[in-house]
Structure 1
């Protein structure tokens, strides 16, 4: 089974760059999208094409148009879809969507960024505190859980092109990295690092100064897999040749 996570930075813009043809060629069983920046009624032509590829599709947009929003595409019909997390400001920003299947649950996550200033950084910390408690409770009911998405955090120095100069940058702050460490220690596997310990693998690049061509990136997109599913992990690959966004997809293969 192939599961993709992809921050498309606007599904309408990504679709003009060949996203739908790429999805067809990739033939993933499930796709978690982040930052779709669209309501369903704004993208009828895109939805028709998605359905033609054989996907059921579920959308959880932000209330603010052109902002945030997550989606799940799946060729296997879920037994249940959970929209949001019950925290009003998080749900208004369209950040959490979960699909439950017979043997596991899959979440598309878009964690806030703090890069725009102190106020959003504080909201990011608020989200992180909430998410800890929320996931602890959720795993009591759904122990087999995959949380796929844009965490907006580089876990370790190996996950960022220049850790020294970014030591005070949102996304690589000590508090964020410590949270990521504790979150994983509490029962999740960084599936990419489970298979690959090498440096220079990134999932996001700034549009400035030719960063992508120089591979000056950050690894901020993850498939975190709960430990009871460890024996089902088969492979994880970052797909940097997909050029529909400033992010690139991450492909997880499980039994």
Structure 2
């Protein structure tokens, strides 16, 4: 058996994150596979940063956004990456910088790791329309991935709090992007029992896709643990956060998950992103 430590974090710009202290978390943490979102950097810049403390044998795949300095998703690993894919949705849909799949062979066990960055959205604007398109495409691709592969984990900033347990101030956000009933409905189906009829929170129907929310499965029915806090006010100090960063795994892989934890900074001035890394071990 092989134990893998897999982590995801929205770095909010990897160059800024490194200046603020990201290496003090990464270097001792023993991460085998790292999914990054909002990288906002080139492949050469990412390589240089990851090797800043000396060559560390990171293998990196990166999908940059169409607009320079925006979005960007990556997978970095100490294991060889066998193949990668970035296509998502129709050809005329711009998903660049938001979805990258990486295939591994873990001592004979195939594994696919996806780094995903869903649009933040904004109610009644084109930004929200792009978010709906992305969530549609994401649902289709995740259905395909589950059918094609036994061991898959989709990691990243999904920009949706699924249930009332996932947002501290959920009552004040029911009409805002990130907690809209229609958005949450996608995740009711995603995490619903495979092929079982689903009545989502927005009263829409459909069938469950059978994925497992590893964080919720490990933590149980408790508030949080949150993964994002606004920089403004006392949100971090008061733990007024959102759980929007996920490990979504196929059932076979989820059953092998242990030690799920949100690496929340010890203090506000020790944060290097507005998101905290989400880490879990998988024994294959």
- With normalisation by structure 2, the TM-score equals 0.84
Distance 1:63 1:179 in 2: 26
> Does the Cα contact within 8 Å between 2:50 and 2:56 map onto a contact in 1?
no
> Does the Cα contact within 8 Å between 1:39 and 1:65 map onto a contact in 2?
no
Secondary structure at 1:164's aligned position in 2?
helix
The alignment status of 1:222 with 2:221, answered yes or no, reads no
Task: Specify the alignment match of 1:243 in structure 2.
Answer: 271
Change (3 A) 1:139 1:116: same
Residue 114 (structure 1) aligned to one of 104, 121, 125: 121
Task: Specify the alignment match of 2:37 in structure 1.
Answer: 34
Residue 155 (structure 1) aligned to one of 162, 166, 169: 162
Secondary structure at 1:165's aligned position in 2?
helix
Higher-Rg structure is 2
Instruction: Give the superposition deviation at 1:140.
Output: 2.6
Unaligned ranges ≥5, structure 2? 193-208
Distance 2:43 2:104 in 1: 23
Task: Specify the alignment match of 1:139 in structure 2.
Answer: 146
Distance 2:160 2:211 in 1: 15
Secondary structure at 2:20's aligned position in 1?
coil
Change (3 A) 1:232 1:43: closer
Distance 2:146 2:14 in 1: 30
Query: What is the aligned length?
Result: 255
Distance 1:161 1:29 in 2: 31
> Does the Cα contact within 8 Å between 1:232 and 1:254 map onto a contact in 2?
yes
Distance 1:90 1:49 in 2: 36
Runs of 4+ in 1 over 6 A off after TM superposition: none
Question: Please, which moves more after superposition, 214-223 or 41-50?
Answer: 41-50
Change (3 A) 1:44 1:55: closer
User: What RMSD in Å do the two structures reach over aligned CA positions?
Assistant: 1.9
Instruction: Give the superposition deviation at 1:45.
Output: 3.4
Unaligned ranges ≥5, structure 1? none
Task: Specify the alignment match of 2:26 in structure 1.
Answer: 23
CA deviation profile, 1:144-176 (whole Å, cap 9, x unmatched): 210000000001001101111111110000011
Instruction: Give the superposition deviation at 1:20.
Output: 2.4
- With normalisation by structure 1, the TM-score equals 0.93
